[in-house]
Amino acid sequence: MKYDLESLRIVHYPDPCLRKKCAPVTAFDTDLAALADRMLALMMAGKGVGLAAPQVGVLERIFVMSHTCKPEDARVLVNPVIREPAGMVEAEEGCLSIPGVHVQVRRAQHCRIVAQDVSGKSFEFEAADLIARICQHETDHLNGVLILDKMGPTDRIATKSALKALEAQYRSKAGARR
Ligand code: ZN
């Protein structure tokens, strides 16, 4: 087993894993399928609608999502690419790696997503609204981009103390590990 699934957990800002550009997935094996299952379980447990591999410390281009938060709507996207983004809309977003922080983010209302499944089979689909938003948010994660990079001046002020608290929490945990 390539990944230590038992010890996988959602990492929080400002963990450096969240700032890394992830490498393309090249091995479509049972380990990858097991990773996706574990990520879906963590996402559901956290009541999130999307979770990208760097959020569990794995620096590979894969994310999971379920726009309804239900298992029947779960999707796994490997090596995803956003194409033909169109129509900008602003909406509130949160992130499982930045608990307690919600900010307004402008994104394409509509786009096309090209990806592979866990067996390496290519697929693509048209996405709009929430599904398009989740795909863009998660693809950002694979490039080390967070919603914090997209917030406006009002949110910058409003989130300041919450981010400081997360930074302090990270430092004390890092200290405890030493
Ligand atoms: Zn996120």
Say which residue the tokens 């194409």 belong to: 83
**118 CA to middle of ligand 1, Å?**
21
The pLDDT score that the predictor gives to residue 74 is: 97
pLDDT tens figures, 145-161: 999 999 999 999 999 99
The pLDDT score that the predictor gives to residue 98 is: 98
**99 CA to middle of ligand 1, Å?**
10
pLDDT tens figures, 28-48: 999 999 999 999 999 999 999
Give the CB-side neighbour count of residue 156, counting CA atoms within 13 A. Answer: 5
**94 CA to middle of ligand 1, Å?**
7
The number of angstroms, rounded, from the C-alpha of 94 to the middle of its chain's C-alpha atoms is: 10
Q: What is the DSSP letter of 164?
A: H
**34 CA to middle of ligand 1, Å?**
21
Q: Could you give the CA distance from residue 97 to residue 134 in angstroms, rounded to a whole number?
A: 14
Bridge partners (DSSP) of residue 124 are 114
**83 CA to middle of ligand 1, Å?**
20
pLDDT tens figures, 53-74: 999 999 999 999 999 999 999 9
Geometric angle at alpha carbon 21, from 156 and 165, rounded to 5° = 35
The predicted model scores a pTM of 0.96
- For the annotated catalytic residues, the residue numbers are 138
